[in-house]
């Protein structure tokens, strides 16, 4: 292998193109493939090379990086009879699987490589987190699982793409298991962020003022910062595809079902994303779930045009209550994630380390994770400050305009229901 390995990258979308750009800037020879010709042209303009099929690219790759959207796409670009990359990959090529997939799929992928006598290919389960902006900056979080020697051999590539490389024990599939646990936070936090911005619109609150207030307190999260800013100005911060997070939440809830473990908040998020996709918003960004929340009362565009919202409900909800609402949702989500990780045999310290630098981070997760495990029966009631969170939620006005996730968090934390 030369001083810098030759990189083949399949999937030049929102994340993949940014990753390719980082590698090119760092002096790697990068050849890219995507079904969209314009994406390949952009890579060439940045100094990369073009390939017209995965197989053509594979012939000149020491490290193959997959950043496609789904497991089905990964299978196709690897094993297609006419264009699949596997048939042409040089011996001992490292395959970085940078997608959100079920751990079962990753294990089956390794088994399939062995079945076709390509056990020489070194598979690293390497899901990514951080969003488009961090992909371009080379500051993604990577969850790497595989043989230690293979990860070490690829470290120069990994460090070019990431501000933090997490080595996940357990072999291929372990990285994807941890990523699915993390995606509960991503799915819940996106929806919570979008819904509270819709609540601001209905309640006649100034969304920019609410944004500033939330970001100064315990209601803040990385995704609130991103999604609320995008709702206020779509050019300010890029969002992500609704179809992608819907796909992820399907896998999350299925994982819980297979293990007979209840994931209430994740299930609510899954249902709302599915409804939004069924409404035809799948190809658009995930902030379009706001349209479902505001059904009959406006949409994303009307919120941007009239940031002061509707006047009829002014006074019923105060700015501080929005932050309290997010604190409740984030607290419930943190417990849901940590208990699921516990079910899967993943330590809370490992989850906390990953979440801290990833898209699922929030002020409340850090606080809850710090105390998780200190009680024989970890629950919301065992968390310090629980009574304060509970009392604030009890005091919030009951309203038909409250987000669906809030209704669950309210019942879960307070023990009350309408």
Say yes or no to pLDDT of 210 above 70: yes
pTM of the predicted protein model: 0.89
Say yes or no to pLDDT of 394 above 90: no
Cα(198)–Cα(210) distance, integer angstroms: 12
Say yes or no to pLDDT of 4 above 80: yes
**b/e string for 226-254 if b means 16 or more Cβ within 10 A?**
bbbbbbbeeeebebbbbbbbbbbbebbbe
Cα(359)–Cα(361) distance, integer angstroms: 6
Exactly one of 49, 59, 179, 367 is catalytic; name it: 179
Cα(277)–Cα(286) distance, integer angstroms: 9
Higher pLDDT, 396 or 348: 348
Q: What is the pLDDT of residue 326?
A: 92
Q: Which residues pair with 221 in a beta bridge?
A: 362
Q: Please tell me whether residue 162 adopts helix, strand or coil conformation.
A: strand
Mean per-residue pLDDT of the chain: 89
Q: What is the pLDDT of residue 199?
A: 87
Say yes or no to pLDDT of 397 above 90: no
Condensed to tens digits (0 to 9), the pLDDT of residues 221-243 reads: 999 999 999 999 888 777 788 99
- Split at pLDDT 50, 70, 90, the class of 406 is low
Cα(229)–Cα(222) distance, integer angstroms: 11
Cα 83 → chain centroid: 30
Instruction: Tell me which DSSP letter residue 240 carries.
Output: -
Q: What is the pLDDT of residue 239?
A: 74
Condensed to tens digits (0 to 9), the pLDDT of residues 108-133 reads: 999 999 999 999 999 999 999 998 99
Condensed to tens digits (0 to 9), the pLDDT of residues 25-75 reads: 999 999 999 999 999 999 999 999 999 999 999 999 999 999 999 999 999
CATH topology of domain 178-414: 1.10.1040
Say yes or no to pLDDT of 409 above 80: no
Higher pLDDT, 367 or 309: 367
- Domain map of the chain by residue range? 7-172, 178-414
Does the active-site annotation cover 179? yes
Cα(389)–Cα(324) distance, integer angstroms: 7
Q: What is the pLDDT of residue 321?
A: 85
With CA atoms as reference, report the closest residue to 80 among 123, 39, 35. 35
- Split at pLDDT 50, 70, 90, the class of 1 is very low
Q: Which residues pair with 129 in a beta bridge?
A: 141
Q: What is the pLDDT of residue 370?
A: 87
Q: Which residues pair with 34 in a beta bridge?
A: none
Say yes or no to pLDDT of 376 above 50: no
- What homologous superfamily is domain 7-172 in, according to CATH? NAD(P)-binding Rossmann-like Domain (3.40.50.720)
H/E element, 180 = helix 174-203
- DSSP code per residue over 82-99: TT-SGGGPPTT-EEEE-S
- Split at pLDDT 50, 70, 90, the class of 379 is low
Say yes or no to pLDDT of 160 above 90: yes
């Amino acid at each position: 292998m030369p001083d810098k390995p030759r990189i083949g990258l399949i999937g030049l979308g929102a994340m993949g193109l940014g990753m390719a750009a980082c590698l090119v800037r760092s002096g790697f020879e990068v050849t890219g493939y995507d079904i969209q010709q314009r994406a390949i042209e952009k890579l060439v303009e940045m100094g990369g090379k073009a390939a017209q099929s995965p197989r053509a690219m594979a012939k000149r790759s020491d490290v193959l990086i997959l950043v496609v959207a789904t497991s089905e796409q990964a299978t196709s670009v690897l094993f297609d009879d006419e264009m699949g990359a596997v048939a042409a990959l040089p011996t001992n090529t490292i395959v970085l699987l940078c997608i959100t997939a079920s751990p079962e799929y990753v294990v089956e992928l390794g088994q399939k490589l062995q079945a076709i006598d390509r056990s020489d290919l070194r598979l690293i389960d390497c899901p990514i987190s951080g969003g488009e902006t961090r992909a371009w900056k080379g500051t993604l979080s990577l969850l790497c699982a595989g043989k230690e020697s293979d990860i070490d051999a690829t470290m120069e590539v990994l460090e070019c793409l990431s501000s933090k490389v997490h080595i996940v024990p357990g072999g291929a599939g372990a990285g994807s298991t941890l990523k699915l646990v993390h995606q509960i936070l991503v799915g819940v936090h996106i929806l919570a962020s979008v819904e509270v911005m819709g609540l601001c619109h209905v309640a006649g609150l100034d969304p920019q003022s609410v944004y500033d207030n939330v970001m100064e307190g315990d209601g803040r999260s990385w995704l609130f910062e991103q999604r609320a800013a995008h709702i206020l100005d779509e050019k300010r911060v890029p969002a992500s595809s609704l179809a992608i997070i819907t796909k992820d939440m399907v896998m999350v809830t299925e994982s819980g079902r297979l293990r007979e473990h209840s994931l209430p908040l994740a299930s609510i998020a899954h249902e709302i994303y599915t409804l939004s996709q069924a409404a035809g918003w799948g190809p658009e960004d995930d902030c379009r779930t706001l349209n479902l929340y505001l059904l009959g009362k406006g949409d994303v565009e009307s919120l941007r045009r009239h940031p002061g919202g509707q006047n009829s409900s002014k006074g019923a909800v105060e700015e501080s209550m929005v932050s309290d609402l997010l604190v409740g949702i984030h607290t419930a989500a943190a417990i849901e994630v940590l208990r699921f990780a516990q079910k899967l045999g993943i330590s809370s310290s490992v989850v906390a380390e990953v979440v801290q630098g990833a898209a699922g981070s929030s002020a409340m997760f850090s606080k809850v994770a710090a105390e998780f495990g200190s009680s024989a029966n970890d629950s919301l009631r065992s968390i310090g400050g629980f009574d304060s969170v509970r009392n604030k939620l009890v005091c919030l006005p009951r309203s038909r305009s409250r987000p669906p996730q809030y209704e669950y968090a309210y019942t879960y934390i307070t023990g009350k229901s309408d």
